[in-house]
Structure 1
Amino acid sequence: MARSLPEPSGRPAPGCGPRVRFGVFLLAARYPGQDDAAALARTVEAAVAAERAGFDDVWLAEHHFMSYGVVPSAVTLAGNLLGLTSRVHVGTAVSVLSTQHPVALAEQAALLALVSGGRFRLGVGRGGPWRDLEVFGTGLARYEEGFAEALDLLLAWLRSERVGWEGAHFRFREVPVVPRASEPPPVAVACTSRATESLASARGLPMLLGMHVGDAEKAAAVARHGDAGAPHVSTHLAQVADTRAEAVDTLLREMPRWLGPGLEGYVPVDDRPRPRQDAFAYTRHLCDLHPVGSPDDCVEALVTTVERTGIRHLILMAEGAGSREATLANIARLGAEVLPKARAALSA
Structure 2
Amino acid sequence: MRIGVFLVAAGFPGRRPGEVLRDTVEAVAAAEDAGFDDAWIAEHHFMSYGVCPSAVTLAGVALGRTSRIRVGTAVSVLSARHPVDLAEQAAVLDQVSGGRFTLGVGRGGPWVDLEVFGTGLARFERGFAESLDLLCAALGRETVAADGEFFRFREVPMVPAVRLRPVVACTSPETVALAAERGLPMLLGMHIGDEEKAAMLRHYRRTAVRPPATGGPGGREPGGSVAGPAGPSLPGHVAAVVGHVGDSTAQVAEELREAMPRWLEPGLAGYVPVDGRARPRRDIPAYVDFLCDAHPVGSPGRCVEKITRTAEATGLRHLMLMVEGAGEQARTLENIRRLGAEVLPRVRDRLPSSRRAPASG
Q: Smaller-chain TM-score range?
A: over 0.9
Which residue is equivalent to 2:145? 164
Task: Answer with 231-240 or 28-37: which moved more.
Answer: 28-37
> Which residue of 242, 245, 250 corresponds with 2:250?
245
Find the counterpart in structure 2 of residue 110 from structure 1. 91
1:32 and 1:157 mapped to 2: Cα distance? 40
For these two proteins, the number of residue pairs brought into alignment is 327
- Counterpart amino acid of 2:10? A
- In the alignment, the residues of structure 2 paired with residue 43 and residue 326 of structure 1 have an alpha-carbon distance, to the nearest angstrom, of 13
Report how far residue 186 of structure 1 moved. 3.6
**1:191 Cα deviation from its structure 2 partner:** 0.2
2:190 equivalent among 211, 214, 219: 211
Give the whole-Å Cα distance in 1 for the aligned partners of 2:6 and 2:165.
17
Instruction: Tell me by how many angstroms 1:233 deviates.
Output: 0.3
Q: 2:333 aligns with which of 304, 313, 328?
A: 328
Task: Give the whole-Å Cα distance in 2 for the aligned partners of 1:40 and 1:77.
Answer: 8
Match of 2:342 in 1: 337
> How far apart in 2 are the matches of 1:290 and 1:35?
28
1:127 to 98, 108, 111: 108
For the residue of structure 2 that corresponds to 1:159, the secondary structure is: coil
TM-score (norm 1): 0.92
Structure 1: how far apart are the matches of 2:278 and 2:158? 42
- 1:45 Cα offset (Å): 1.0
* TM-aligned CA deviation for residue 41 of structure 1: 1.6
CA distance in 1, matches of 2:152, 2:51: 32
* Residue segments in structure 2 that go unaligned for 5+ positions in a row: 206-230, 354-361
Does structure 1 conserve the Cα–Cα contact (< 8 Å) formed by 2:140 and 2:164?
A: no
AA partner of residue 46 (structure 2): F
Deviation at 1:21, TM superposition (A): 0.1
Matched, 1:176 2:157: yes
Report the RMSD for the aligned CA atoms in angstroms. Answer: 1.0
Structure 1: which amino acid aligns with 2:294? L
Q: Which residue of 1 aligns with 2:136?
A: 155
Match of 2:203 in 1: 224
Compute the displacement of 1:34 (Å). Answer: 1.2
User: For 1:110 and 1:332, how far apart are their aligned partners in 2?
Assistant: 31
1:75 aligns with 2:56: yes
- Identity, in percent, stands at 62
Task: Tell me which residue corresponds to 2:178.
Answer: 199
| 8 Å contact from structure 2 (residues 88, 160) kept in 1 | yes
Once residues 15 and 74 of structure 2 are traced to their aligned partners in structure 1, the CA distance between those partners, rounded to angstroms, is 23
CA deviation map 1:31-89 (0-9, x unaligned): 21111111112111111100000000000000000011111010000110000000000
Per-residue CA shift, 1:196-232, capped at 9, x if unaligned?
A: 0000000000110000101111111111101642110
Task: Give the Cα–Cα distance (whole angstroms) in 2 for the partners of residues 22 and 43 of structure 1.
Answer: 18
CA contact (8 A) 1:260 1:278 kept: no
> One-letter code of the match for 1:207?
M
- Relative to the length of structure 2, the TM-score reads 0.89
